[in-house]
Chain A
């Protein structure tokens, strides 16, 4: 591993698309400028993370949460981002809720079929998914155990 933080760039294709959509038609961007913007975005994330972490530590928490990031935006003088970010957060929470309900529905269907023949295997599959998430929602595991 041993990657420097500056080497962790965001995908060029996505960065280019965002830039093109922000600018009027017919405007181009040189390769150097685009890669500099990509780098700047990485630096921005690192800086925002550090600021957000300060807020989390102030609150004696070890996990960065959404409000820490929003506070960091204000601290970094990007207040104009706060409103669109809050809206995006609302939409994201709704989508996550929908996904969770969908997977619970799937589980119910599974239980009907197998009649709890292999509870351990299904738990392992779900555990893998949970590990991909950043260890935030431990409540999910408790619900599975009850089943």
Chain B
């Protein structure tokens, strides 16, 4: 009982991930939350985002804030495109998002035009 309470109190550090079949990075993202739970600023690891930015030959340097905002923007993008693709799945009365839903969303939404031809 006391142990459970203590575990709950310490819960802000490492959330108990019951899923996690995805294997590769089972550990929580590197951003250690500073106290308040849900205060995590970005779930995507900045190191990976930095690697993507550096892959651009025209880019000389990128500030830490820029990397952070790109990571956050990528999260927002994932949420947005998932929701838009879901609209297509709903119309087909399906509960599982398929690849074609994504393709439809890309075709339908102007903002996703830059993705055309890149996902194959």
Contacts and interface: CB of A to CB of B under 8 A. Distances in A.
B73 A73 contact: yes
B91 interface: no
A134 B70 contact: no
Given A37-B102, A44-B114, A66-B65, 13 more contacts: A11-B44, A14-B29, A22-B78, A29-B97, A40-B81, A45-B52, A50-B58, A64-B62, A65-B63, A78-B77, A91-B39, A136-B61, A136-B63
Chain B interface helix/strand/loop/mixed: helix
A68 B58 CA distance: 15
Interface in A16-46: 16-19, 21-24, 26-30, 32-33, 36-37, 39-46
A61 B106 CA distance: 33
30 contacts: A8-B48, A9-B48, A10-B44, A10-B74, A11-B22, A12-B22, A13-B20, A13-B26, A14-B25, A14-B43, A14-B44, A24-B86, A27-B86, A30-B99, A32-B99, A33-B97, A36-B102, A37-B81, A40-B112, A45-B70, A48-B70, A49-B70, A62-B60, A64-B53, A64-B59, A69-B73, A81-B73, A85-B73, A92-B68, A136-B65
